[in-house]
Homo-oligomer: A and B are copies of this chain.
Amino acid sequence: MKVVLIGSGNIATQLGKSLLKSGHQIVQIYNHNLSNAKKLAGILSSSFTDKIEFINRDAGVYIIAIKDDKIVEVASCLKLNSNLVVHTSGSVDMNILQPCSQHIGVFYPLQTISKEQELSFNKIPLCIECNTENAGQILNKLASSISEKVYTVTSEQRKILHLAAVFASNFSNHMYAIAQELLEQSGFGLEMLKPLIKETAARIDSASPIKLQTGPAQREDFEIIKKHIEMLKNNPDLKDIYEKLTRNIIRMKKM
């Protein structure tokens, strides 16, 4: 399939590489910053442009992989007829793309993606959504060519998935960051906790996280909880977070 990539950031880069490997042709990269477009075009052997009006008009799919708040702007300038246009955001409405084409959709990879890593989309869940049967067929074919895990979702479902992903990934990473902040106060690094962090994530294959919950809150060990809160007295933000999460663990336990 001929693909145009709008954007040249983390997702555009990794998606472009994966699509190329699966036999698709990346015909063009657009970025408002020409040197960024050129850089990715070099990797993907494609042409590049920084002008929306110069975007190639006969590709099979246009993938908009840019910051959420920039999608509406690009969508209002990109005028195609019946070519499929999709974005890759977890939270932006699909219909924002209506000015672009009759056939629109969403192609949302449920993964945290950086430019540098060696990444295979094969095991990454791809959530797709579209407005026409035709769009659905194209999108399904494209997604299935790079991943085993393709899910058709509604807008509502995608929004909940995105919110759940914020807890599961952004907020769990923030817990690691807090742990590091605390460790550094006592002259240690995060190194000591890495085996624990990895085991905690690996264990979810064996049972549900609710069943796997351990720690002072789960045991309702109020003596330790009191000591921990005392230790955090000089950091009211962390104290507050500790209290809220402890209370919520106890709430869930009783459900």
Q: Which residues of A contact B (CB under 8 A)?
A: 67-69, 91, 110-112, 117, 123-125, 149, 151, 156-157, 159-161, 163-183, 185-188, 190, 192-206, 208-210, 212-219, 221, 223-224, 227-228, 231-232, 237-238, 240-242, 244-245, 247-249, 251-252
Alpha-carbon distance between A116 and B198 when the two chains are bound, in angstroms = 18
Q: Which of B112, B186, B203, B205 contacts A203 (CB 8 A)?
A: B112
Q: Which of B67, B151, B194 contacts A192 (CB 8 A)?
A: B151
* Cβ contact within 8 Å between A213 and B180: no
* Cβ contact within 8 Å between A245 and B194: no
* Cβ contact within 8 Å between B177 and A161: no
* Cβ contact within 8 Å between A179 and B167: yes
- Decide: A125 near B174, CB < 8 A? Known: A91-B227, A197-B201: no
Q: What would be 9 A-B contacts, judged by CB atoms less than 8 Å apart?
A: A111-B195, A160-B182, A161-B183, A161-B192, A167-B242, A168-B193, A174-B213, A177-B208, A237-B248
- By a CB distance below 8 angstroms, the chain B residues around A221 are 68-69
Q: Closest 7 A-B residue pairs measured CB to CB?
A: A170-B215, A201-B201, A168-B179, A176-B209, A177-B209, A172-B172, A164-B179
- By a CB distance below 8 angstroms, the chain B residues around A197 are 168-169, 172, 201, 204
* Cβ contact within 8 Å between B200 and A194: no
- By a CB distance below 8 angstroms, the chain B residues around A117 are 206
* Cβ contact within 8 Å between A231 and B163: yes
* Cβ contact within 8 Å between A168 and B157: no
Name the CB-closest residue of B to A159.
B231
- By a CB distance below 8 angstroms, the chain B residues around A242 are 166-167
- By a CB distance below 8 angstroms, the chain B residues around A209 are 173-174, 176-177, 180, 190
